[in-house]
Chains A and B, each alone.
Chain A
Amino acid sequence: MSDSALIFDSVGKTFGRFEAVRDIAFAVETHELVSLLGPSGCGKTTVLRLIAGLEMPTRGRIVIAGKDVSRVPASERNIAMVFQSYALFPHMNVIENVAYGLLAQRMNKAEAFERARRQLDLLGLAALETRLPSAISGGQQQRVAVARALVLEPDVLLFDEPLSNLDAKLRRQVREEIRDLQQRLGLTVVYVTHDQSEAMAISDRVIVMRHGRIAQSGTPRDLYERPASAFVADFMGDANVVGAEVLPGATPLVRLDGLELPTDLAPGTAVDVVLRPEHMHLDRAAGAGTIAGKVRRGSYLGALAEYRVDTAVGALLVSEAATATLLAEGTPVGIAIDPANVRIIARSDEAALSAADPRF
């Protein structure tokens, strides 16, 4: 633990009576890219600001590069941050922006500008040096913001939803650039986003947050395939979450209409059953081992066709490879799924999906 680049030790932060984050504990290893993922208001940005020193923790300890910085103001921590709005100083040109941090730390002017210039070269921005931020494109602004942060050689580099001001095409390209840069320079990065595909694409590890707590953390694959709660399952990609109860029998099982799923949970346990749309497929006839239903609506999405199917356990979303024609509304179908792909999670109060979180 001691050689982690960043350690959060049961950190809490309250604003007045509002508890923004509580009892957060995690560590980020050197050269690792960790994403903080969650819906708006989950506390992920607060965690980032706590790392930056823009907020001071109410409880707990924050350690950066082996030093307890819990009470150290932002200006004296060796971190750097790329803001959502980029926060480039509009009255300074590109190179003045990049040199700002070096000058603020009393480096002499010539050397600061020399270092800034090298950093700009490295990011392919050399031609923009004397432009004002308002005179360059959004993608370029974003890269200048990265250059401004990188030039300080921070122990931890922070990103606050850096792609949200870019259009969809550019987003994919820039996130690959960020990942490349991180790998090439061996940066330690904490990255905040509310977009799960973005988080999965670039992270070594993802920390999913909810209501100011960590819901689950792990590799993107862990989270997608073995979500610890219905919330995580739903947040990491599309998922049908169906409430059920474990039935007694020789082997305890969960029954969804015709579909029987064995489980080792105790009979009587309330569970959430997670069914990924891409794992299910539609049979023309409802048979044994399937969930019977009727197609309510089919949508053609190019590579895929997506169906909303009314069943006894609720409306389910199913995606299939697109066929020549879509199934018509009202077509009776049976939904089949390999039980190995179904995840059954014992429901805790905290994890209850719809009850606790009105946003869903």
Chain B
Amino acid sequence: MNGGLLGLSLSGLAATLPVAAAALAAFLLTLRGTRGAALVTLAVTLGGAVWVLVSGGLAGTPYDAEAPLSLANQPAMGWGATITLIALLGLAAGALARRGAMDGDAFGNHLLVFSSAVLAIFVLFPVVQVLQEVMRPAASGSLAEGLAERFLGKDLWGLDCLAGGKRCGMVWNSLWLGIAVGLATTLIGLAAALFTTRIRSPFTGPARLVTLLPLVTPPFVVGLALILLFGRSGSVTLFMYDVFDIRPSRWIYGPQGVWLAQTLGLTPLAFMVIHATLVSVSPSVEEAASTLRASRWRTFRTVTLPLIRPGLANAFLLTFIESLADLGNPLVLGGGFRVLASGIYFKIVGAQADLGEAAGLAVVLLVISLAAFLLQVLWLRNTSFVTVTGKGDGGQHARLSVPLKTGIIALTLVWGALILTVYGTIILGSFATLWGRDYSLTLANYVDAFNVIAGEHGLVWAGGAWNSFGTTMMLATLAAPLTAALGLLMAYLIARRRFTGRRTFEFAAMMSFAMPGTVIGLAYVLAFNTPPIEITGTAFILVIAFVSRNMPIGLRVGLAQFSQLDPSLDEASTTLGAGPGTTLRRVLFPLLKPAVATAVIYAFVASVTTLSQVIFLVSPRYDWATTYIIGLVENTNYGRAIAYSVVLIVLLILVVALLQLILRRVEFRRLDTNKSRETA
């Protein structure tokens, strides 16, 4: 928008008139101050906000008789329209408060309106754009034919592979892969969780550390390591050729390879979920079972296992969703094996580019993901045994039966060995001159990526990686606090405030977690390439994508913390005369510091390691570390790719270590106060 609102309306630009009228009406209605007036204000201001969006950022839309509802021809929103939009939403929140929502608290209503607006504009609106794209008739033929092709095509649902054919449809591939990965990760996660909690061994500490490693690793790096080990010129492959004369083959490329990579990469997630459930099982119920003369195996099978079943289901569904969303490993290791996520990618960037078909795949992927997510929500809501016992009581967990124990140890150790091999390969690989041929150590890969030369005019960032590395660090640092803040504030609304539609709000907020990154990427391309909000190719779109996608991290952490925090603390603050803002700042924020630190750091880690979310959104100017690495892999420049990955991993380990340090300090303070209570 060029020029002020007043100037524009005076100069006769018709598009601004409705907003000016809405502002005037809101002002007059505020003077009346009745509940009815508040309702009208609400309608008028929300109407004004929608008008800002559809009127081409207040600059006016040329009417197009062909497509009267199309927004494509209008100019994009500028700063003026953005500020107007925010102001109108603020007025709407005020009106909502005067209506008596949340007991008339303006602070809470503003929070609710603005976070809902973020959800609507940056989550819901893009998804609607995807649906609209699917509905767009194909160049040839009718809408129905287009839809049939997009949803019922053979490349989606084909079952040739069962009948001896070459390949199955992408839907089946995604489902089978997801289920296989879910089962494997849940099983190994359970074994590892039992290993660390129920078996005394010197490996317990290291095992916990190992489980954290994949969290700070961009997901496809595991796939990369598998190529270095088992690829045609992989070290294991060549070793087998030399010793047993087994000819090198491309067996690692395909579903097996993707499955192995995802299983290794996602087991820590399953481990964390199951571990959390396992430690919350009260030892006394296991003791009860053994006093009732159940054998160790029987105790485990009939008491422990049923109690942690929700945790197992949760782990399975989460890893299933993550497997569906993973783009990196299918790209690196898939070969001819296509899943939905990589299918979308190839429909957008490949030779067979077709946005409509990509959108069709995205819808199918979204539906499967959301179904799994719904299942997870329902399951967790109905079957939480863990809280039944409530109070933590002492006692010893039942010992595990010997065969079970042996199985657990074997599985955990094999997994641990694999993980260590993978990471050893990554580190060695980054220093090898040419993996598979020449293992002599060199720093060339790092120099290649991160060279700095003292040039004539000061330092020159000559390494090829600097551009994407700088962008990644800067934008992830920018996005992390915003992500955490939005998530935690939403958690505050959900946990501490009552308002109509709270469940829906929570569901909508959580939902973006279940949206696969490729779907978000595609949706953003479709939604924000054109007015009214035209931000493709900017750094802003990346930040927004992270904030709206990773906000559930803050939300989950926040919800967990709030449930630990006695609600009468907020109420005490309120009855002592502090408003909600003061309460949040002086009581809740100091008590939530661990949650804030956790949310900020995990938001940072998630933004740095993601590939699927950014791959469609990066531009030459704002390249991302992961997309740059994938580019290197596509050019089979494995050395530099791995060196870059190692730098990222080390950096993220340091960041997470920093978090642990912060948390431990908080923890120590708590321990201290506990001790002094005992002595008091």
Contact = CB atoms under 8 A, between A and B. Distances in A.
Interface of A: 52-56, 71, 73-77, 79-81, 83-85, 87-91, 100-101, 104-105, 132, 134-137, 148-149, 152, 158
B34 interface: no
Given A87-B568, A134-B676, A137-B680, A152 B576 contact: yes
B575 A52 contact: yes
B577 interface: yes
A148 B576 contact: yes
B568 A134 contact: no
A54 B575 contact: yes
Nearest to A100: B576
A129 to B, nearest CB: 15
A-B pairs, top 8 by smallest CB distance, nearest first, are: A101-B576, A87-B572, A104-B578, A134-B673, A87-B568, A135-B676, A83-B568, A74-B574
A104 B576 contact: yes
Contacts of B673: 90, 132, 134-135
B579 interface: yes
A149 to B, nearest CB: 8
Contact of B104 (A71, A90, A134, A149): A71
B573 interface: yes
A132 B577 CA distance: 22
Nearest to B670: A134
A73 B104 contact: yes
What does DSSP make chain B's interface, helix, strand, loop or mixed? Answer: helix
B572 A104 contact: no
Nearest to A74: B574
Contacts of A135: 673, 676-677, 680
A75 B578 contact: yes
B666 to A, nearest CB: 10
B566 A53 contact: no
A73 B677 CA distance: 36
Given A87-B566, A104-B582, A75 B574 contact: yes
A191 B242 CA distance: 86
Contacts of B568: 83-85, 87
B680 A79 contact: no
A84 B573 CA distance: 14
A75 B573 CA distance: 8
Contacts of B573: 89, 100, 104
17 contacts: A52-B571, A53-B575, A54-B571, A55-B103, A73-B105, A81-B575, A84-B568, A87-B569, A89-B573, A89-B587, A89-B591, A90-B591, A134-B676, A134-B677, A135-B673, A136-B677, A137-B680
Given A56-B100, A85-B568, 15 more contacts: A52-B571, A54-B571, A54-B575, A56-B103, A56-B104, A73-B105, A74-B575, A75-B577, A87-B568, A87-B569, A89-B587, A100-B576, A134-B674, A134-B677, A152-B577
Contacts of B577: 75-76, 101, 104-105, 152
A97 to B, nearest CB: 9
B394 interface: no
A74 B576 CA distance: 8
A132 B673 CA distance: 8
Contacts of A76: 577
B287 to A, nearest CB: 27
A148 B591 CA distance: 19
* B105, B575, B674, most chain A CB atoms within 10 A: B575
B590 interface: yes
Nearest to A72: B104
* A79, A85, A100, A148, most chain B CB atoms within 10 A: A100
A152 B576 CA distance: 8
A285 to B, nearest CB: 51
A169 to B, nearest CB: 18
A225 to B, nearest CB: 36
Nearest to A151: B576
Interface in B157-188: none
Contacts of A134: 673-674, 676-677
Contacts of A83: 568, 571-572
* A104, A132, A137, most chain B CB atoms within 10 A: A104
Contact of A91 (B578, B591, B674, B677): B591
Contacts of B571: 52, 54, 74, 81, 83, 87
A91 B578 CA distance: 17
Contacts of B676: 132, 134-135
* B104, B569, B574, B579, most chain A CB atoms within 10 A: B574
A136 B680 contact: yes
Interface string B575-597: 11111001000110011000000
Nearest to A136: B680
B46 to A, nearest CB: 24
A92 B219 CA distance: 43
Contacts of B575: 52-54, 74-75, 77, 79-81, 149, 158
B104 A89 contact: no
A132 B586 CA distance: 16
A193 to B, nearest CB: 17
Contacts of A77: 575
B566 A85 contact: yes
Contacts of A71: 100, 104
B668 to A, nearest CB: 14
Nearest to B673: A134
A80 B575 CA distance: 6
Contacts of B586: 100, 104
A105 B586 CA distance: 13
A179 to B, nearest CB: 22
B579 A75 contact: yes
Nearest to B500: A16
A101 B582 CA distance: 11
Contacts of A149: 575-576
B38 to A, nearest CB: 13
A159 to B, nearest CB: 12
Contacts of A74: 571, 574-575
A136 to B, nearest CB: 6
* A75, A88, A136, A149, most chain B CB atoms within 10 A: A75
* B103, B104, B591, most chain A CB atoms within 10 A: B103
A73 B54 CA distance: 38
* A55, A84, A91, A137, most chain B CB atoms within 10 A: A91
A56 B574 CA distance: 14
A144 B573 CA distance: 14
Interface string B547-587: 00000000000000000001011011111111100100011
Contacts of B105: 73
A90 B590 CA distance: 10
Contacts of B680: 135-137
